[in-house]
Structure 1
Amino acid sequence: MDYIELRHLMEEQKEEMTPSERMKAYMAGEEVDVLPYGLLGDEPAMADIFGFTTSQLDNDPEIAAEIIRRKKAEFGMEGIGVGLGLRTIGAALGSELSIPEHGIDHIASHVLTDYGKLEKMEIPDPYHNPVLTPLIERGRRLKEIFPDTSIGTSVAGPVSTAAAIRPVEGLLRDTRKNPELLKRLLDFTVDCSLKWLEVFCNEFGPSPAMISDPVTCMDILSKKQFDEFSIPYLNRLVEGMEKITGMKPSIHICGKTKPIWGNLGDMDIAAFSVDNCEDIKETREVLGNKVMLIGNVPPVDVMKEGTIDEVVAACKECIKKCADSPKGYQLGTGCQVPIGTPRENVDAFIYAARKYGRGAKIGRMPKGIE
């Protein structure tokens, strides 16, 4: 279909709940208007759609507020997120970032080139750090503008945070050459993330939180490396987050994860966001009785580069594979929505969620699919 036809069809659709009302009722076992849905890490893509750069999004709270307003007005998506990116702790400790005017940052140089520096490193104080303090100030300003809107946060997983402090190739070498020093670094990364969460909750109250840990995937680590160098520290981070926030965190891991699904099922997490390189039907068969699942429409091949019909078809397929998962399912993308994703494909995603997710109830296929 073309965009004009899509918009006409969307005008006939109605949502009876806000996203927060929907999720609360859905998790309580009630039938909801449509299946919960959302786009992972959508703010840079939304900034692009609305004509702003990522630099403006990150550095100007008023522009961030405008994006939040327009996202709700034009797409019906709500919520405020002020969290730590994959490289934020690394930057707060002294790693140098290369930050484009419009795009995703990357590490230009890592602060920890040898472990002699580790003993001198101190956990960054979010109230007195040039990288973290502006995030607290950003959250304060957004909360002033949207006093009735919930605000959430996120942290990177221990291995991914370590990769912003020390190069990945160094970390992989450390698993053989310096295992005990690497474990001290991983403990340190957990302490840094928990410090952020303590300050965040002190400022904004108990808040839902998410972990992103792409470097811990099976494309980078072996299962043996994961068991020794990732899961113990992930568990410590999850336990600390629940203690601080009073809520179980969710986790997203990019890449292949099938060998560690058993580990994830044993973790005390609320939800697992599945990359599109894995079959979400298989994920449901292994983890559906243990955690809520999120995913996994392809963000690049479909959301950014696909047609409207391809987006709708991909959403329908995900719903058919996973919407009756016993612990719940949220339609989402398999990874962060990329900059350059067209507006019409965001609308197609929402249209498909409303059409095929109509009359959803946890553990049951939506009436829209049936």
Structure 2
Amino acid sequence: MPQPTQPVFDGHNDVLLRLWNRAKAGADPVRDFLDGMARGHLDAPRARAGGLIGGLCAIYIPSGALVLKQADARGHYATELAAPLERAPSLDIALEMAAIAFRLERAGAWRLCRSTADIRAARAEGVFAAVLHLEGCEPLDADLAALETFHAAGLRSLGPVWSRNNIFGHGVPFAYPMGPDTGPGLTEAGFALIRACNRLRIAVDLAHITEKGFWDVAKTTDQPLVVSHSNAHALTPVARNLTDRQLDAVRESGGLVGLNFATTMLRADGREDAQTPLSDMVAHIRYLVERMGVAHVALGSDFDGATIPAGIGDAAGLPALVAALAADGFAAEEIAAICHDNWLRILAQAWGETA
């Protein structure tokens, strides 16, 4: 495998979910992350091997026994939205995942970062730079008191919804072929949430939200539009991917889209298949760059949350994607922007940092 030559900051992973599940089974999540595991995509040894310097680490409340629908003879599928979750148990799980994040920091396994200066300092010290992200706001109530507490604890990014509905808005289903215009957008509580994020300087992530919700956020927020882990609907028409009109809005806002490594969002046929070539990943990046410009494209792997191409495998395989981009003609400075620089610029803007 190629040796890492390019540092990567990744816009989305579910390592906290994996460590939380392991802790429930009696394992030590700190040792799992520090020493590495046979399964999963992300831990300290694999991050070092792949040049992964940090990323947005999701607190995600699982939806029980949700199973993706199998494709029919035409390759089509439509999984019903996951059922809404109750707030109290969701808050309990979120606090348990946050506790794991704090334990990892105390053990020196990673650094919880609240600014881009923190991210750069962690990189200089060779420590994984973790940014806390809330994927779906089920742990929050409409009064947003818990949001203040999570922010004080280090939360710097959130997505109002996952692929289910909650008191803040509506999510898109896992479906192919289907567009993202699948239901209503933000609720009144959702609009209040966006305004609170602007006040607190918490980045707002539009992955998983309906197209109407996307436009609701666009007309409300004072931040660049960020979609941490989605791809081009024109190449893979799943409901989770972005239309050209949405991509244009991201560009016009000065925002970015992070390439999702999930094979269902990369392949033209929308199938879950690890034997997906890296050329499909490069094709999506090329499309996003040509539509929006290289300054608006980044990576949002969905490590530990999806089936990804075998050519990547896990975080240690990131140099293979870097090599594929170089082979496709991307210049070194373009690759640096996609892999690292764009995320830091956008986070600095969302967090209200001065240049």
Identity %: 9
Q: How many residues matched?
A: 267
Q: TM-score, normalised by structure 1?
A: 0.54
Cα distance in 2 for residues equivalent to 1:291 and 1:61: 37
Give how far 1:83 is off: 4.3
For residue 61 of structure 1, the aligned residue among 29, 35, 48 is: 29
Structure 2 residue matching 1:344: 3-state secondary structure: coil
Equivalent residues of 2:20, 2:97 under 8 A apart:
no
Deviations 1:273-323 (A, max 9, x none): 163362454433233111412144562244834023433344333333333
Give how far 1:212 is off: 5.2
Equivalent residues of 2:23, 2:29 under 8 A apart:
yes
Give how far 1:224 is off: 10
State the partner residue of 1:145. Answer: 107
2:225 is the counterpart of 1:241: no
Equivalent residues of 1:297, 1:318 under 8 A apart:
no
Alignment of 1:264-343 (within 5 A): 264-268=217-221, 269-273=223-227, 275-276=230-231, 278-279=233-234, 281-297=244-260, 299-301=262-264, 302=266, 304-324=274-294, 328-332=296-300, 338-339=306-307, 341-342=309-310
Cα distance in 2 for residues equivalent to 1:262 and 1:350: 33
State the partner residue of 2:184. Answer: 226
Q: TM-score, normalised by structure 2?
A: 0.56
Give how far 1:141 is off: 0.8
Q: Tell me which amino acid in the other structure corresponds to 2:321.
A: F
In structure 1, runs of 5+ residues without a counterpart are: 1-6, 20-36, 48-52, 89-96, 101-106, 113-122, 163-187
Deviations 1:176-214 (A, max 9, x none): xxxxxxxxxxxx7444xx44443333334xx42121523
2:35 is the counterpart of 1:72: no
Cα distance in 2 for residues equivalent to 1:54 and 1:308: 30
Q: Tell me which amino acid in the other structure corresponds to 2:13.
A: G
In structure 2, runs of 5+ residues without a counterpart are: 37-41, 68-80, 114-129, 165-169, 235-241, 268-273, 342-355
Distance 1:297-1:223 versus aligned 2 partners, 3 A rule:
closer
2:155 is the counterpart of 1:201: no
Q: Tell me which amino acid in the other structure corresponds to 1:272.
A: V
Distance 1:69-1:141 versus aligned 2 partners, 3 A rule:
same
Cα distance in 1 for residues equivalent to 2:257 and 2:173: 20
Higher Cα radius of gyration: 1
State the partner residue of 1:40. Answer: 12
Q: Identify, as 1 or 2, the structure richer in helix.
A: 1
Q: Tell me which amino acid in the other structure corresponds to 1:14.
A: T
Cα distance in 1 for residues equivalent to 2:96 and 2:14: 21
Distance 1:238-1:86 versus aligned 2 partners, 3 A rule:
farther
Distance 1:153-1:316 versus aligned 2 partners, 3 A rule:
same
Cα distance in 2 for residues equivalent to 1:99 and 1:262: 28
Cα distance in 2 for residues equivalent to 1:190 and 1:354: 47
Equivalent residues of 1:318, 1:331 under 8 A apart:
no
Distance 1:262-1:351 versus aligned 2 partners, 3 A rule:
same
Cα distance in 2 for residues equivalent to 1:292 and 1:340: 25
Cα distance in 2 for residues equivalent to 1:110 and 1:297: 24
Structure 1 residue matching 2:43: 3-state secondary structure: helix
